[in-house]
């Protein structure tokens, strides 16, 4: 899955990301993890970037987790609920 990250501000401040940019909590087995990203340290107004989230289930059934993106936006940090289904 690819997460698109946007700074919608027209003339405001850049969004500054943390290091790491994003995390997924450790689980056993680990089925979700954050992958490659083309996001810079600061996302300027009207700019976009992408973050890849990997899903690799080891067993059938649904799996749940949360992706947290660390930033300084007004509503920081961003959390995205993740749901995947193993076959």
- Residue 20, pLDDT score: 95
Q: Does domain 2-86 have CATH number 2.60.40?
A: yes
The model's pTM is 0.90
CB atoms within 10 A of CB 62: 9
Q: What is the pLDDT of residues 70-85, one digit of tens each?
A: 999 888 899 999 999 9
Domain ranges in the chain are 2-86
- Residue 29, pLDDT score: 86
Residue 6 half-sphere exposure, CB side, CA atoms within 13 Å? 5
- Residue 87, pLDDT score: 87
Model confidence band, residue 34 (pLDDT cutoffs 50, 70, 90): very high
């Amino acid at each position: 899955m690819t997460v698109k990250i946007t700074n919608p501000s027209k003339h405001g401040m850049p969004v500054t990301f943390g290091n790491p940019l994003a995390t997924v909590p450790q689980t056993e087995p680990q089925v979700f993890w954050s992958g490659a990203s083309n996001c810079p340290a600061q996302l300027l107004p009207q700019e976009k970037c992408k973050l890849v989230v990997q899903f690799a289930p080891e067993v059938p059934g649904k799996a749940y987790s949360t992706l947290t993106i660390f930033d300084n936006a007004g509503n920081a940090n961003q959390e995205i609920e993740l749901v995947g289904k193993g076959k």
